[in-house]
């Protein structure tokens, strides 16, 4: 494509600003329209960011009638499904914010529609572009750890519960799992080469969000603020997930990968109340192995200091895929495994039973 890539943005909230700023920095991109169910927000968004090429829309369907190549879906979780599906049917490529959707069925349908319309469906996990996150994948893929049999991921905030569109079933659908848990799951699944989940046994709760002492919108708080799960993955890997938006604790500890030959420990940056390695905030990494029978080694791995804007990297990668007809940088077909785990965590917690995960082949 020699002309500029034409973009539409659906949902003019906080994260849409990061999308728009990244697009505005790219000479080969033009933002043509911004849609929000609140038209004022779309208009203000365009004015605030001085997007001269863009018009505001209240109905995203009207935006989809324009000659645009791709859309950023930046709505609350629950609207990811319908807006993405409609955009794909309208022959637009889609980058949808994380989580892919709210339920597994929605995610499956989104992938099918993307395939049927031969359009990209990419999902917004910018931590993948963090050099230290890439290093985790490199280490796992190098085979140094041998067969990996156990992974522990997640993290927690002492207090870090959002409000607004993030806390009720009708807009968010899922809480801490869809907000930060999904990043942790992506870190593990991506590094492990996307093993499929087989079973999930989980527990979630929201003791903090529903308590007026801890949350000003406790009356509207319907999603989980805490979740814990044991997931059986293919290749005899067990994954333990723990995630908290709020807790009476400083940290839920490091992420660990245990292999038959070595172990990898990933410690969050800082040990404060927002600790967790879900977002690229890696403070330290160590490899544990034996040099000889009695010689146990902890090899501290260097952390890459960088000034990379990982969000812009995510957007650039998407635009390049659109421009040069490349596959989705973070394809829905991979992320459906992440969605399947979140979906099964919610169902397992509701039923008090282990859930068998059923996934189609795409």
Ligand X SMILES: NC(=O)c1ccc[n+]([C@@H]2O[C@H](COP(=O)([O-])OP(=O)(O)OC[C@H]3O[C@@H](n4cnc5c(N)ncnc54)[C@H](O)[C@@H]3O)[C@@H](O)[C@H]2O)c1
Q: Which residues contact 20 (CB under 8 A, 6 or more apart)?
A: 9, 31, 34, 45, 49, 51
- Residue-wise DSSP of 201-216: EEEEE-TTTT-TTT-T
Stretch that binds ligand X, among 29-37, 114-122, 128-136, 184-192 (CB under 6 A): 29-37
122 binds ligand X (CB under 6 A): no
Whether the CA torsion 77, 29, 26, 324 is positive or negative: it is positive
Beta bridge partners of 202: 229
CA 76 to chain centre: 13
102 binds ligand X (CB under 6 A): no
Stretch that binds ligand X, among 7-15, 147-155, 246-254, 268-276 (CB under 6 A): 7-15
The span from the CA of 203 to the CA of 177, in Å, is 12
Among 5, 7, 32, 35, binds ligand X (CB under 6 A): 35
For residue 153, what is the enclosing H or E element? strand 148-156
41 binds ligand X (CB under 6 A): yes
Stretch that binds ligand X, among 5-13, 47-55, 256-264, 332-340 (CB under 6 A): 5-13
Among 31, 74, 177, 223, binds ligand X (CB under 6 A): 74
Alpha-carbon separation of residue 284 from 61, 173, 181, 278, 301 (angstroms)? 46, 34, 20, 14, 7
For residue 60, the minimal CB distance to ligand X (Å) is 5
225 binds ligand X (CB under 6 A): no
Nearer to ligand X, 4 or 13 (CB): 13
DSSP secondary-structure letter at 128?
A: G
Nearer to ligand X, 43 or 152 (CB): 43
Stretch that binds ligand X, among 30-38, 144-152, 247-255, 333-341 (CB under 6 A): 30-38
208 binds ligand X (CB under 6 A): no
Q: How many helices (H) and strands (E) does the chain have?
A: 10, 15
Among 5, 7, 9, 12, binds ligand X (CB under 6 A): 12
> Total binding residues for ligand X by CB under 6 A?
26
295-301: strand order across its sheet: 295-301, 282-292, 263-268, 255-259, 148-156, 237-244, 226-233, 197-205, 355-356
349 binds ligand X (CB under 6 A): no
Beta bridge partners of 289: 297
Among 8, 124, 263, 268, binds ligand X (CB under 6 A): 124
Among 5, 7, 9, 10, binds ligand X (CB under 6 A): 10
For residue 281, the minimal CB distance to ligand X (Å) is 12
Binding site for ligand X (CB under 6 A): 10-16, 35-38, 41, 60, 74-77, 79, 83, 97-98, 124, 126, 164-165, 179
């Amino acid at each position: 494509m020699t002309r500029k890539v034409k973009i539409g943005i659906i949902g003019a909230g906080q994260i849409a600003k990061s999308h728009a700023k990244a697009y505005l920095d790219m000479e080969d991109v033009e933002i043509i329209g911004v849609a929000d169910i609140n038209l004022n927000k779309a208009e203000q968004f365009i004015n605030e960011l001085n997007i001269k090429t863009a018009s505001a829309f209240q109905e995203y369907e009207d935006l989809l009638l324009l000659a645009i190549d791709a859309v950023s879906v930046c709505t609350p979780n629950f609207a990811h499904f319908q807006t993405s599906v409609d955009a794909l049917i309208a022959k637009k490529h889609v980058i949808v914010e994380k989580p892919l959707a709210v339920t597994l069925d929605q995610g499956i349908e989104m992938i099918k529609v993307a395939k049927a319309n031969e359009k990209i469906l990419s999902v917004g996990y910018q931590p993948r572009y963090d050099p230290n996150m890439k290093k985790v994948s490199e280490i796992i893929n190098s085979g140094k750890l041998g067969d990996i049999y156990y992974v522990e991921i997640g993290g927690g905030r002492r207090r870090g519960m959002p409000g607004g569109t993030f806390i009720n079933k009708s807009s968010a659908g899922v809480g801490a799992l869809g907000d930060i848990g999904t990043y942790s799951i992506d870190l593990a699944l991506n590094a492990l080469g996307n093993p499929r989940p087989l079973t999930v046994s989980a527990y979630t709760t929201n003791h903090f969000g529903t308590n007026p002492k801890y949350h000003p919108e406790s009356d509207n708080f319907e999603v989980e603020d805490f979740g814990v799960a044991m997931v059986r993955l293919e290749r005899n890997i067990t994954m333990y997930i723990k995630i908290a938006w709020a807790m009476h604790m400083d940290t839920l500890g490091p992420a660990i990968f245990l292999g038959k030959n070595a172990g990898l420990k990933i410690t969050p940056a800082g040990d404060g109340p927002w600790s967790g390695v879900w977002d690229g905030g890696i403070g330290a990494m160590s490899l544990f192995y034996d040099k000889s029978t009695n010689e146990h080694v902890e090899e501290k791995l260097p952390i890459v200091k960088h000034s990379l804007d990982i969000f812009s990297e995510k957007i650039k990668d998407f635009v390049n895929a659109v421009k040069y007809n490349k596959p989705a940088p973070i394809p829905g077909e991979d992320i459906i495994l992440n969605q399947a785990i979140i979906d099964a965590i919610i169902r397992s917690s509701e039923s008090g039973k282990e859930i068998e995960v059923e996934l189609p082949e795409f």
